[in-house]
Chain A
Amino acid sequence: MKIEPIRLKSRSNHAYLGFILPGLILYSVFVIIPILCSVFYSFFEWSGIGPMKFIGLKNFQYLLFGDRMSPIFFNALKNNLKYLACVLLIITPIQLFLAYMLFLKIRYSKYIRTMLFLPYVLSTSIVGFFSLLLFDGNIGVLNRVIADVFGRQYTLSWLGDPKIVFKLFVAIVIWQCMSSGMMIFYADMQAVSRDVIEASVVDGCGDTRRFFSIVLPNMRASLITNITLSVIYAMTMFGLPYVLVGPSGGVNNSLDFIAMVFYRYAFGGTYYGTTDIGFGSSISVVMLIIILAVWLITDRFLKRIKD
């Protein structure tokens, strides 16, 4: 039971201001005000210097319906959503399954847990290096092994093949990031009432049945956490595809994501078009709207499952 602490309310104490102000100022200046500025800029045509020209919704119109931008944007959005679908349909079930295996204390579970979680602490650039080490078309380990065992004609340009690269990307994400969600599930499972679990053991309830009738219904908090984190992560995907295939999203833009489109148009400058603060801002505003929309949908969905 939570004990309500007695607040130090009286004393006409204004000391709280001293505690709160530094954080409030720092956070407002470097987080909130920039967000508001982005929303504001998105209605302007502005290169960052010189006069700002109000153009209403033209930036959004160009992004969503312009002949040049709309295919790029929707291709990227499609990839974001495709990845999100992979998270919800493949990665989350794997995380739940592995967490349950650790919870059941399968053999070597301590070793397994340590090794599964390890890639989580590696930086994107190291993961990118590992991916190249394995999958590089010319000098990668995988192609060398294939060439030695089966012959050179069976080697593939893994990261250069638009049909393979997305699957490979999901596999790499599973390797690197899957374990954080797994550990969140695992921690939540350990909070399931011990009595209930023991009772089910006494009653001779099998592992599978126990999972679906006792453990899973208690996973609501961690499911919400994980899915919220995944939605944000999926919709802002940037580092790994950037490291794997470069800023333009690889062959046929098969690994292009909205955050990469944003980067190209906001900071790419001379390479990818104009440096347009207004247009870049409008992309980031659209990102936020999509995140909120996807999050609302999944939230609804989770609530419905619960009832």
Chain B
Amino acid sequence: MKRSYDINTGRGGRTGKNIISVLLVLYSFITIFLVGDTVLSSFKTKQELVKNLIGLPKNPTLQNYATVFVEEGFWRYILNSVLLVSASLLLMMTVSSMLAYGMAQYRFRGKNFLQGYFLIGLMMPVQLSILPLYLMLSKVHLTNNIWGLALVYAANLSFAFTVFYRFFEELPLSVIESARIDGANDFKIFASIVVPISKPVFSTVGLLQFIMIWNDFFLPMVFLTQKETQTLTLAIYSYTCNFLRNWDKIFSAVTVALIPILIIYFLFSEQIVAGLTAGSAKE
């Protein structure tokens, strides 16, 4: 429920609040500066960067992009990130929505236990499972393999499960019942009736998980150590940890990583917030 109040308190509070607005607007310039300067600097040569770090490029060049894409094979990291996120999301959303539906719509023994069982993942630090996971995956040759890592992401379904569960619990049953009378089986009901009416939940969960996995640093660093399998986040890090040496390339590399996520943010920020708050405790 999103409703805003029109609160007009008058007297005194007005000036104070206006000052806070101005301060926050000024504060937002930090973000604008960082993004803007990064994008602008990506068109500068190394020589120009030394003298002109802040400001418009004097002789805009695409050289840095050429280096990053052609010589450093950046398209590869982008592709890895896209594949990793797509595979993880596809598997996680399918498995966790089915799981939540099964838990919410059926009564069976051990259900209460399972409910608690699936929440354990919310409290556990990844560090606690990562060593055995590493041993397990390397035994079946799934380290340095984005599909192996996708399995790990998809398995961390506690959050997605919670949000789906809350939604499916309140599903109006009339639709489902009538489909059942028409003779549709359980899976057909789920796929052709439940999923289509649940699109908003899929998009909020999906977006939030997309951001989490796309940005994740720790798991790719542990599981994807070979250059060919690395993700965009790791590629950017490999530049920043040698900051001075990659001074010219880094701006274009960051711009390439930055622009898609900013577009997604400006298109979907409401849904991202909805996903964030959907997982929070309810009284």
CB contact between B132 and one of A34, A194, A267 (< 8 Å): that residue: A34
Contact A41–B132 (Cβ < 8 Å): yes
B4 within 8 A of A: yes
Stretch from A56-64, A109-117, A149-157 at the B interface: A109-117
A293 within 8 A of B: no
A130 within 8 A of B: yes
CB contact between B237 and one of A5, A35, A243 (< 8 Å): that residue: A243
A183 to B191, CA, bound (A): 33
**Interface extent on A, as a size class?**
35 or more
CB contact between B2 and one of A126, A190, A201 (< 8 Å): that residue: A190
Chain B residues whose CB sits within 8 angstroms of the CB of A232 once the complex forms: 123, 125
Interface residues of A in 90-137 (CB under 8 A from B): 98, 101, 103-109, 111-112, 114-126, 128-130, 132-134, 136
Chain A residues whose CB sits within 8 angstroms of the CB of B82 once the complex forms: none
A24 within 8 A of B: yes
Contact B261–A122 (Cβ < 8 Å): yes
Contact A15–B185 (Cβ < 8 Å): yes
With both beta carbons as reference points, the residue of chain A lying nearest to B34 in the complex is identified as A130
B130 within 8 A of A: yes
A-B contact count (CB 8 A): 314
Known: A13-B186, A104-B7, A106-B18. A123 touches B233 (CB 8 A): yes
B1 within 8 A of A: yes
Interface string of B101-139 (1 = CB under 8 A from A): 111011110000010011011011111111111011000
Known: A32-B120, A106-B21, A197-B7. A133 touches B132 (CB 8 A): no
Chain B residues whose CB sits within 8 angstroms of the CB of A22 once the complex forms: 94-95, 98-99
Chain A residues whose CB sits within 8 angstroms of the CB of B12 once the complex forms: 206
B8 within 8 A of A: yes
**Interface extent on B, as a size class?**
35 or more
Stretch from B59-67, B198-206, B238-246 at the A interface: B238-246
Contact B240–A128 (Cβ < 8 Å): yes
Contact A27–B157 (Cβ < 8 Å): yes
Interface string of A149-180 (1 = CB under 8 A from B): 00000000000000000000000000100001
B203 nearest CB across to chain A (Å)? 15
Extra inter-chain contacts (13) besides given A30-B133, A183-B273, A281-B132, CB under 8 Å? A37-B129, A37-B131, A38-B128, A103-B5, A120-B272, A121-B272, A125-B217, A184-B276, A188-B277, A190-B3, A236-B127, A284-B125, A284-B131
Closest 8 pairs (CB-CB, A-B): A19-B102, A23-B99, A30-B155, A34-B129, A37-B132, A123-B215, A15-B186, A115-B28
